[in-house]
Amino acid sequence: MSTNQPADDLAPLPDLLQGRAGAGPVRTRRPVYLDLLPPCNAGCPAGENIQAWLAEVQAGRYEAAWRELVRDNPMPAIHGRVCYHPCETVCNRAQLDSAVSIHGVERFLGDLALQRGWQFDEPAARSGKRVLVVGAGPSGLSAAYHLARLGHQVEIRDASPEPGGMMRYGIPAYRLPRDVLAGEIDRIAQLGVRITGGHRVEDLAAERRGFDAVFVAVGAHLSKRVDIPAREAGRIVDAVSFLRDVASGERPLIGRRVAVYGGGNTAMDAARVARRLGADEALIVYRRTRAQMPAHEEEAQDAEREGVRINWLRTITAFDGPALTVEVMELDPGGRPRGTGRFETLAADTVILALGQRTDTGFLRAVPGVEFTADDTVVVSTSLMTGSPGVFAGGDMVPAERTVTVGVGHGKKAAGHIDAYLRQAVAHRPAKHDVIEFDGLHLWYFGDAARRTQTEREPQDRITDFTEVVGGLSVAQAAYEAGRCLSCGNCFECDGCLGACPEDAVIKLGPGHRYRFDYDRCTGCAVCYEQCPVHAIEMVSESRAED
């Protein structure tokens, strides 16, 4: 710089240095790399690191992706079929075009693992501790898996002849093929988990002798009932028993016209199964509106595609087969249904009650310290332990949403706390990062990419048998869907910061190692932050950086 330059030309310089950026010692803020929590991970009841295994699929490392996935969830081929994928509901990509088909890629990995015979890693060491699991449903199987991988000896006891719980006896084969279910369960057994079927636990105190801890995860296999005036000509069955009989290979006689009473997922399955058993007409009667039904919308849509009719705002008052009397309902100002005094007559040979389920907790009543809620679920602490030391509970037995994925998440959580209990330690749960929302992304890097859809059988073909309705993704489709992931909140080494920095202050550390900032060069101009598509860079004040 010339010493003859007029002093006035230097006047703006201090203002520039104190402005949005600064330089050297007068820089007011600096960029830092960080990791934020993607909403898919945050929304997964099983606690999967979804973003991590999607990245492995995108890179073509399928077995590595599966192993990352099963660190949290041992049954991806099942979940890819029956989970209602709340991860996709919150996927940021949905606000750009459409959510990533996370469940489709998960199913792809699960099916590939079964085809190629991939097995779980053996535990490093045995602990010498024994854990009893009561219930071979999703929660019990999940707990057994995680406990076995932690080195504990696990035995599952279940009243049903075959393991799987409601996955086997409640979810029809057209949604969950039995060979897939068996393959996932067999792999858990290969870890050394002993599964004893046909064993109803009635005296827990006697059963737990010789075990160091117990996890109770009995599913909701008891149907709630309602008194409907009916003559002998009217056949009334409960949905759980109906679905269980069909899953066990029976073909109950239901007639040509079937009415299902209820509005949940079980009601939808019962109606769809009735169609496959030869019912010409399957009708669902529900006392509330479509918006109020507990069933997932996609379940109702699938039922309707298969010819099931749904009568909203109706309640059954009498059944004198084949005449079914229903009362028309209306919503009061508070949104609750109330009778109108107007009645209709419908035709039905069989009525299937699908009014909800409850768990059989009677065998726990004599266990000292175990407490119950008003709806007979078990009171547990944040560690899922009951009031009886060493007795834990999860899945349908505790107050929570009753889905396969929630149950699997309970099993994983319980296993961690049981392990800590056995080691006389405190379970460590690392603090979670903040969730990154769509508005925090800078999406210059990503273009539109239409979602790949899974094939489905035609409705007229579906109702002829119990063959699976929905097909899986191909290798190319799965890789494509994984590539649609926005990597929200976590650096994926796009080089945006590297190319944008005007001071060459971004240092690339090599594949898989991301970058670092050279703060001697950095002016704090924030160009790297503005260019980062996934918000893996934040601008912080110099005072905060020093802290």
Look at residue 521 and tell me whether its pLDDT is greater than 70: yes
- pLDDT recorded at residue 543: 74
- pLDDT recorded at residue 6: 38
- pLDDT recorded at residue 15: 38
Q: Where in the chain is the domain with CATH 3.50.50.60?
A: 130-222+358-422, 224-356
- pLDDT recorded at residue 346: 94
Look at residue 122 and tell me whether its pLDDT is greater than 90: no
Tokens of 427: 């379970």
Task: Kindly report, residue by residue over 236-270, the tens digit of the pLDDT.
Answer: 999 999 999 999 999 999 999 999 999 999 999 99
User: pTM for the whole thing?
Assistant: 0.90
Question: Cβ–Cβ contacts within 10 Å for residue 186, how many?
Answer: 12
Confidence of residue 11 (pLDDT cuts 50, 70, 90): very low
Task: Kindly report, residue by residue over 27-78, the tens digit of the pLDDT.
Answer: 889 999 999 999 999 999 999 999 999 999 999 999 999 999 999 999 999 9
Assign 279 to helix, strand or coil: coil
Task: Kindly report, residue by residue over 295-350, the tens digit of the pLDDT.
Answer: 999 999 999 999 999 999 999 999 987 999 999 999 999 999 999 999 999 999 99
Provide the mean pLDDT of the chain: 90
Q: How far apart are alpha carbons 81 and 362 in whole angstroms?
A: 33
Q: Angle between the 138-149 and 404-422 helix axes, to the nearest 10 degrees? A: 40
Q: Angle between the 50-58 and 102-116 helix axes, to the nearest 10 degrees? A: 70
Of 2.70.150.10, 2.60.120.1090, 3.30.70.3270, 3.40.50.10780, the CATH number of 12-35+491-546 is 3.30.70.3270
Q: How far apart are alpha carbons 126 and 462 in whole angstroms?
A: 48
Q: Where in the chain is the domain with CATH 3.30.70.3270?
A: 12-35+491-546
Helices first, then strands: H and E counts in the chain: 20, 19
Architecture of the domain whose range is 224-356: 3-Layer(bba) Sandwich (3.50)
Report how far apart, in Å, the C-alpha atoms of 464 and of each of 65, 237, 306, 439 are: 36, 23, 10, 47
Task: Kindly report, residue by residue over 428-458, the tens digit of the pLDDT.
Answer: 777 888 999 999 999 888 888 899 999 999 9
Percent of the chain scoring above 90 in pLDDT? 80
CATH placement of domain 130-222+358-422? 3.50.50.60
- pLDDT recorded at residue 138: 96
- pLDDT recorded at residue 360: 83
